[in-house]
Amino acid sequence: MYRVLITDPLSDQGIEKLTQAPDVEVILNTSLSKEELLEEISQADALLVRSQTKVTAEVIQAGKNLKAIGRAGVGVDNIDIPAATSRGIIVVNAPDGNTISTAEHTFAMMISLARNIPQGYRSTVQGKWDRKSYVGVELNKKTLGIIGLGRIGTELSKRARVFNMNVLAYDPYLTEERAHKIGVTKATLDEAIAQSDFITVHTPLTKETHHLISTEAFNQMKPGVRLINCARGGIIDEAALLQAIQDGKVAGAALDVFETEPPGEHPLFSLPQVIATPHLGASTREAQENVAIDVSEEILHILRDQPFKNAVNLPSIPAELQEKLRPYQILAEKLGLFAIQTADGALDEVTITYSGELADWDTAPLTRITLKGALSHYLSDVNYINAPHLAKERGVRVTEQKISKAQGFTNLFTVTVKTNTGEHQVAGTLLNGLGPRILKIDQYSVDILPTGHQLLIHHHDRPGAIGRVGTILGNHDVNIATMQVGRKDIGGQAIMMLTVDKAVPEELLKDLEKLDEIQSVTAIDL
């Protein structure tokens, strides 16, 4: 008999999935103190929560029999994922259950913004009959820019097209083929920002997307543009948005999420052009039922040792295979992450080539890890389980190749990424006593430890180039830890690969690009 502890309020339909299972005992208590939680968790095989319960390392450590933790929703910020992974506990969420709910809420916010519905309602119930002040705009024939075309963005695009809107979509993994299939126009981020009448964001919040919509972006927009954010607070720079509305550049904004929640007396709320809701994107009966049912089914599958799909940490693999592959796991993820950062454009294909002894092993887990590394540069919710699904969803082809010879090494691990702008390749191996190493970047041979902050510089091989690069880094107080130089011919094309002691500021990259001999500069974070 499996014991499942539920400590947050869940939909009855989700709980029924567990209570009706003959091999499950459900313990439901949503008002446990910390001490009571630690006591109850010690006897539980699985824990089911929403956002109220904080599943800390202490709680996980107390769960002596714990095999799974389920989050009835998408975000897992309240769960210590590394602590769970180190204990071999699978953490699952329910990423699909609120897709329709959030897409519908976004569309409702867009219509309300276009037609001034909240403002008109407020005026009317105050006894006024002011029709002139709330003249709106139609959605018909307007251009909607969707930033992030995942599940929710795709559903939103379907609704927008029914309203005869022209949809521009930006997503780093969107291909022309998938865009055509969905019925949207593939655009760059700058094109979507500059050409849209309405802009809605549907990306995760990562360091790349934090303040993605900034003052610079507002300067590119059409006068009278309207913005919607039902994704994550922080994607839109709220201070920049405030200024853009006050300056008359932005006609209005509809916000369901904020950088700090609850937002309190936010300056944006003083503007009549702003409408807001308290993070209601997933707040429908259907969504709450769906996430509860989805995560309950996942918990049952894990407890019964059946296939499951929505794990957010590394799944178990056979001990013998794990022992063989463990030394290569770090290399796999780093090569995927390195390769994607060298590429521009929408990702079309990832090819992973295993050479030498690796060709004789079951390398499927390494392929998942490599793909997770490649996708994690843009997606915060990617993991070793859902990486293939997310790649397929975005039209990214994934190919494994195996070659018996390894070009002078016992094993060689090569990752090739193809985008709509070209192809890039990175290869690495494990060196005895030294650990993972990157040995090749495109056609250049190197020897690099794949960790930390790095700079990849393509340049012309001219005297003094290295010194000028070093001077600029010094001027920006950035210290060089290691440097590798690769070239084919004297005076021809070459690369510099620098490991530096801290994240590279944008100003430094711009200064390097001003040098005559520099062709391109790419900051890589591993």
DSSP symbols for 45-101: SEEEE-SSS-B-HHHHHH-TT--EEEESSS--TTB-HHHHHHTT-EEE--SSTTHHH
Q: How far apart are CA 69 and CA 232, in angstroms?
A: 24
- pLDDT given at position 307: 77
Using CB atoms within 10 Å of the CB of residue 259, give its burial: 0 to 12 exposed, 13 to 18 middle, 19+ buried. Answer: middle
pLDDT for 318 beyond 60: no
What digits encode the pLDDT tens for the residues 490-500? 778 899 999 99
For the segment 84-104, the average pLDDT, to the nearest whole number, is 88
**Mean of the per-residue pLDDT values for the chain?**
91
- For 393-440, the pLDDT digits (tens) are 888 999 999 998 766 777 899 999 998 888 999 999 988 777 899 999
> What three-state secondary structure class fits 212?
coil
| Cβ–Cβ < 8 Å for 163, 137 | no
- The pLDDT of residue 272 is 96
Task: State the pLDDT confidence band at 315, using cuts at 50, 70 and 90.
Answer: low
| Residue 365 tokens, joined | 């887990």
Q: Is 205 helix (H, G, I), strand (E, B) or coil?
A: coil
Task: For tokens 């139609």, name the residue.
Answer: 138
Q: CATH 3.30.1330.90 occupies which residues in the chain?
A: 317-425
Residue 166 · residue 139 · CB < 8 Å: no
Which two tokens mark 425? 């390749």
pLDDT category at 132 given cuts 50, 70, 90 is very high
Question: Tokens 């690009």 map to which residue?
Answer: 513
Q: Is the predicted pLDDT of residue 349 greater than 70, yes or no?
A: yes
Does 3.90.1410.10 match the CATH number of domain 99-276? Answer: no
Query: Is the predicted pLDDT of residue 6 greater than 60, yes or no?
Result: yes
Question: Domain 317-425 is of which CATH architecture?
Answer: 2-Layer Sandwich (3.30)
| DSSP run (H or E) holding 273 | none
Percent of the chain past pLDDT 90, that is, above it, reads: 68
Determine which helix (DSSP H) or strand (DSSP E) holds 498, and give its type and residue range: strand 493-500
Question: What mean pLDDT is predicted for residues 223-239?
Answer: 96
Which tokens sit at 342?
């060298």
Phi, psi (degrees; rounded to nearest 5) at 194? -80, -25
pLDDT for position 391: 87
Res 357 pLDDT > 90: no
Q: What pLDDT sits at residue 69?
A: 96
- pTM comes to 0.74
CB 501 within 8 A of CB 453: yes
Task: Give the whole-angstrom CA distance, residue 300 versus residue 68.
Answer: 9
CATH 3.30.70.260 domain range(s) in the chain = 452-526
**pLDDT attached to residue 319:** 58
Domain with CATH 3.40.50.720 in the chain: 2-97+286-303, 99-276
Q: What is the rounded average pLDDT of the residues 380-399?
A: 81
Residue with tokens 């002078």: 408
Residues classed as catalytic: 232, 261, 279
Q: Does domain 452-526 have CATH number 1.10.1040.10?
A: no
Positive or negative, the CA dihedral 472, 474, 479, 484 is: positive
Confidence at 189, pLDDT banded by 50, 70, 90: very high
Tell me what percent of the residues of the chain surpass a pLDDT of 70: 97
CB-count exposure of residue 20 (10 Å: 0-12, 13-18, 19+): exposed
SS (H, E, C) 285-351: HHHHHHHHHHHHHHHHHHHCCCCCCCECCCCCCCHHHHHHHHHHHHHHHHHHHHHHHCCCCCEEEEE
Convert the pLDDT of each residue in 22-41 to its tens digit: 999 999 999 999 999 999 99
Its CATH class, for the domain covering 2-97+286-303, is alpha beta
Please tell me the predicted confidence (pLDDT) of residue 109. Answer: 98
Burial call 35-73: b when 16+ CB within 10 Å, e when fewer:
eebbebbeebbbbbbbeebebbeebbbbbeebbbbbbbb
